[in-house]
Amino acid sequence: MVNKDVVLYTVENGIARITLNRPEALNALNEEVLEQLSSILESVKTDSNVRAVILTGAGEKAFSAGADIQFLNKATPLEVRNLAILAVSVTNKIESLGKVVVAAINGFALGGGLELAESCALRVSTNQARLGHPEVRIGAVAGFGGTTRLPRLIGKGRAAEMLLTGKAVTAEEAYTIGLVNRVVEPDKLLSETEALILEILSQAPIAVKLTWEAIHRGCNLTLEESALLGADYFGLIASTKDFKEGTNSFLEKTQASFKGR
């Protein structure tokens, strides 16, 4: 494993694992963490050997407890804003990476930590995790993208309740409202997350890439514009060899062999 101090990074079998590595601080987010995470994401984006990413936290207690409160307590308003702008750029990089990113939530995912998870395509959680936006309880606002992404994930009403009360939900509650996709035992978190990723990677690579892009971009468009974007991508994918392979295999009742072309 290559040690990048507060963020760890490995690649195995085409799957990168990025681990927030401040377990003594519940993997709280500060400028150093976010800068290193941003740099790693830049490398992942252009690394053809990486097909998907697992984002998780070190230790057993937390994925990330959010922004570093000690920093926030002493920082100037401009410094707080700069941290938020950096965090927003990181979450945007995760969402637009061009590769599927799955959050493996191994404990508390609070505030900015949950906002990192919200920017991922999918979220797998241990049954012991708790997820929430406690910002209002310290007189703050979810400034890393939570007020934007959470309503789109679980609906305006449920998001408003979480954001306005600051109350955390259990993993099972998060699953019920659609905030996480799967809930597993702690010792199965990474294996189940990898199994989910491998299921996705077994599909046609270009189709997976364009499907996620259509979902991500479509959320920022009107219903009609989003549907037309999907139609455009449907036409675009028809030019690929994988599309011909997939349709031929369906008609011939054989197993498709996708090449990403």
Tens digit of each residue's pLDDT (9 = 90 or more) over 197-215: 999 999 888 999 999 889 9
Residue among 10, 123, 96 at smallest CA distance from 58: 10
Strand duo 15-20 + 7-12: pairing: antiparallel
Distance of CA 168 to the CA centre of its chain: 19
Tally helices (H) and strands (E) across the chain: 11, 11
What's the mean pLDDT in 110-128? 97
Instruction: Tell me how far apart the alpha carbons of residues 152 and 94 are, in angstroms, rounded to a whole number.
Output: 16
pLDDT of 4 reads 53
pLDDT band at 16 (very low <50, low <70, confident <90, very high): very high
β partners of residue 183: 125
Q: Which of 1-15, 147-161, 233-247 has the highest mean pLDDT?
A: 147-161
Residues that are catalytic? 115, 135
- Whether 164 shows a pLDDT value over 60: the answer reads yes
Which residues in the chain belong to E strands, given as ranges?
A: 2-4, 7-12, 15-20, 52-57, 62-64, 100-105, 108-110, 122-126, 130-132, 169-170, 182-184
What's the mean pLDDT in 39-60? 96
By the 10 Å C-beta count (0-12 exposed, 13-18 middle, 19+ buried), 198 is classed as middle
Report the b/e string of 91-115 with b at 16+ CB within 10 A: bebbbebebbbbbbbbbbbbbbbbb
The label of the residue with tokens 């100037």 reads 76
DSSP 18: E
Instruction: Tell me how far apart the alpha carbons of residues 154 and 132 are, in angstroms, rounded to a whole number.
Output: 13
Is the pTM above the cut of 0.75?
Answer: yes
- Whether 221 shows a pLDDT value over 90: the answer reads no
Structure tokens at 208: 């997976």
What's the mean pLDDT in 2-26? 90
144 in Cβ contact with 135 (< 8 Å): no
Structure tokens at 61: 């207690």
Average pLDDT over all residues of the chain? 93
User: What structural domains does the chain harbor?
Assistant: 2-201 (3.90.226.10), 205-252 (1.10.12.10)
pLDDT of 244 reads 83
pLDDT band at 2 (very low <50, low <70, confident <90, very high): very low
What's the mean pLDDT in 98-120? 97
